[in-house]
Structure 1
Amino acid sequence: MQTTVATKPIDRVILASGSPRRRELLERMGLRFEVFPAQVNEWEEADAPPAELVRHNAALKAEWAAVRKPQELILASDTTVALGDEVLNKPVDMDEARTMLGRLSGKTHTVYTSIALRCEAHNIDELDHVTSDVTFRLLSAEDIERYIQVVNPLDKAGAYGIQEGKEIIIAGLDGSLTNVMGLPTEFLTDLFKRLGIWDSLSS
């Protein structure tokens, strides 16, 4: 006689990321979630195609968490900044951060964020990405110094965040603000609704 294991209903999200910005955005969405940061080696080559890079990294994180929590809905994400064809990941030190901000000065770049959703028990396997274009003001050396006194650039792709100090560096945004923050909540809400799980996650 074969015994079947009951499938746990989807009533929360497992966030495979330690990012405080992503936690804040999920809280704003009113979702129940648990943080379970993925321990993976991310692909970070500067000449990698940015869309492929973020999709690869998001899928890698989701796979890591899904293997360990197969009954849960795993949400993984990855964000990078691309200036033309060059990926600008997190700077290794303040000198590189200053250089990145100087290169972005007066230019428009693209922010790529990938979303990966995995749930082994419910056969959910979704992978997509969202882009937004951000235009920087012309920055003087003094502007850059003022900015890095306000914001820690070392934990952010492209050496900047859009939540704090944006009046110093940002001239314009075309696309999703939350995408630039690291989790496109409008896209994610639509995805949850399409999968029929929004109400169970947010009620």
Structure 2
Amino acid sequence: MSKNESVNIRPISQLVLASSSPRRKELVASLGLSLPVYIMSSDADESVPAEWSPAHIVEQLSLRKANATASLLRERQEAEASLVVGADTIVVVDGQVLGKPKDRDDALSMLRSLQGREHEVYTGVACVIADTGIATVAHRMTKVYMKPMSDEGLKGYIATGEPDDKAGAYGIQGLGATLVDKIEGCYFNVVGLPLSLLSDMLAHYEIHVF
């Protein structure tokens, strides 16, 4: 795990997820943590320089999201003993970063570029102590191999509405699983939050899954 700064271990009484994603909320809930988990997303700037690597993009955007939520907690005087978790996921094919589709034509273009071949999914995770801003940041990458699909099949999938809010225009945890041949790496990374990585990061703050 890479670190922005050394972390002084201190008691954490609540976890705050800096995301409005229902998928990430469900994944954090699945850990069954003993401390309360709250959701508090914020608007963070997601523009990045063209020369940034995929790993740098997701690490910096996850950190921006976590920092923005930590700032809100400080403004509300609710930052004490809070750990904020931010995450960001992108799909990369031929070095091109695919975010969420602008519309269904864009979704079709993305899925055409992915079908019948492999691509990479990166997710960055940032943990920020809300009252000090001290952070740890890391990422995971998973390779995803897609089946060859006809335009008719892709349009049928798009018509379900599932791709509308997902990076790369598919959701592996839903009907999008039928587009996938195989993966190499963490499945939950493709969903949007690598649980193995997150559990390791939380353990650094004395927050344990078991």
Q: 1:82 aligns with which of 67, 92, 95?
A: 92
Paired residue secondary structure (1:197): coil
Alignment of 1:112-191 (within 5 A): 112-121=122-131, 124-191=134-201
Query: 1:47·1:86 contact (CA, 8 Å) conserved in 2?
Result: no
- Runs of 5+ consecutive residues of structure 1 not aligned to the other structure: 1-7
Give the Cα–Cα distance (whole angstroms) in 2 for the partners of residues 139 and 119 of structure 1.
Answer: 45
Give the Cα–Cα distance (whole angstroms) in 1 for the partners of residues 47 and 164 of structure 2.
Answer: 18
Q: CA deviation at 1:46?
A: 6.8
Per-residue CA distance 1:126-155 (angstroms, 9 max, x = gap): 001111000000010121022223342121
Q: Tell me, yes or no, if structure 1 residue 12 matches structure 2 residue 18.
A: no
Q: 1:50 aligns with which of 54, 63, 67?
A: 54
Give the Cα–Cα distance (whole angstroms) in 2 for the partners of residues 150 and 169 of structure 1.
Answer: 14
Task: Specify the alignment match of 1:4 in structure 2.
Answer: none
Q: CA deviation at 1:168?
A: 2.8
Give the Cα–Cα distance (whole angstroms) in 2 for the partners of residues 189 and 143 of structure 1.
Answer: 37
Report which stretch shifted further, 90-99 or 139-148: 139-148
Q: CA deviation at 1:167?
A: 4.4
Higher-Rg structure is 1
Per-residue CA distance 1:16-65 (angstroms, 9 max, x = gap): 11001000101111133100002112126776421111111111111111
Aligned residues: 193
Give the Cα–Cα distance (whole angstroms) in 1 for the partners of residues 184 and 162 of structure 2.
Answer: 24
Task: Specify the alignment match of 1:65 in structure 2.
Answer: 69
Identify if the C-alpha distance between structure 1 residues 181 and 147 changes in structure 2 by more than 3 Å, giving closer, same or farther.
Answer: same
Per-residue CA distance 1:138-178 (angstroms, 9 max, x = gap): 01012102222334212111001101113431001111111
Q: CA deviation at 1:123?
A: 6.8
Give the Cα–Cα distance (whole angstroms) in 2 for the partners of residues 139 and 44 of structure 1.
Answer: 32
Tell me the amino acid that sits aligned with residue 36 of structure 1: M
Query: Which of structure 1's runs of 4+ aligned residues deviate more than 4 A?
Result: 44-48, 120-124
Q: CA deviation at 1:102?
A: 0.6
Tell me the amino acid that sits aligned with residue 59 of structure 1: L
CA RMSD of aligned residues (A): 2.0
Query: 1:46·1:87 contact (CA, 8 Å) conserved in 2?
Result: no
Query: 1:46·1:88 contact (CA, 8 Å) conserved in 2?
Result: no
Task: Specify the alignment match of 1:102 in structure 2.
Answer: 112
Report which stretch shifted further, 68-77 or 90-99: 68-77
Task: Specify the alignment match of 1:21 in structure 2.
Answer: 23
- Runs of 5+ consecutive residues of structure 2 not aligned to the other structure: 1-9, 74-78
- Percentage identity across aligned positions? 35
TM-score by length of 2: 0.84
TM-score by length of 1: 0.87
Give the Cα–Cα distance (whole angstroms) in 1 for the partners of residues 49 and 23 of structure 2.
Answer: 24
Identify if the C-alpha distance between structure 1 residues 113 and 27 changes in structure 2 by more than 3 Å, giving closer, same or farther.
Answer: same
